[in-house]
Structure 1
């Protein structure tokens, strides 16, 4: 994290796809170091749900397979210098964040 004054800006997204896109924008377009960007479930529960999917589910060729849906929101946060806070708020908003906060 560069700069003497830093804050954490966090945004909550409805889908994992939107969260991934936000990470991509922060790193590639704004120039935030990937090590300063964090992704986690927005709540206490696992955002991938409790239904089997991926490696723990039956083969795609087996009858009845349906991938599990997300059961919670995804939070993307970044530790940034004060001069990038406005840019992050705007970027998160443009990408459809449900909420944006700064600490």
Structure 2
């Protein structure tokens, strides 16, 4: 991002469900363009989060799932104009982010 009035806000979540909810909230409530939001695992390993939740949870008659790797936290970042920084920090905090940073 070449414009110095823009910021990247990064939030870390324990579950993919929480990360997905954060993306939905940023688009619908804060007005961030979906193309400016990025989701990825925090570490090198592919991961669906640090804890089972939502679609990762086993069904009632299911002992567990082998397809939902729990290798670490999920990072959601958004490239935004500087005037939305406070709103994003608030939104990420309200949605249970473990950490929120800016660069």
Give me the TM-score of the superposition, normalised by structure 2.
0.78
Q: In the TM superposition, what are the counterparts of 1:1-103 in structure 2 within 5 Å? A: 5-48=5-48, 66-67=64-65, 68-103=68-103
**How many pairs align?**
90
The Cα offsets for residues 65-96 of structure 1, whole Å up to 9 and x where unpaired, read as 62135221000000000000010001000100
Please identify runs of 4+ aligned residues in structure 1 that moved more than 4 A: none
Q: SS of the counterpart of 1:79?
A: strand
Q: SS of the counterpart of 2:84?
A: helix
Structure 1: gaps (5+ residues)? 50-59
Do the aligned residues in 2 keep the contact of 1:9 with 1:77 (CA within 8 Å)?
A: yes
Structure 1 or 2, whichever has the larger Rg, is 1
Root mean square deviation, CA, Å: 2.4
The Cα offsets for residues 27-55 of structure 1, whole Å up to 9 and x where unpaired, read as 01111100000000011111149xxxxxx
Do the aligned residues in 1 keep the contact of 2:48 with 2:74 (CA within 8 Å)?
A: no
In 1: Cα distance, 2:45 partner to 2:23 partner = 21
Give me the TM-score of the superposition, normalised by structure 1.
0.78
Match of 1:54 in 2: none
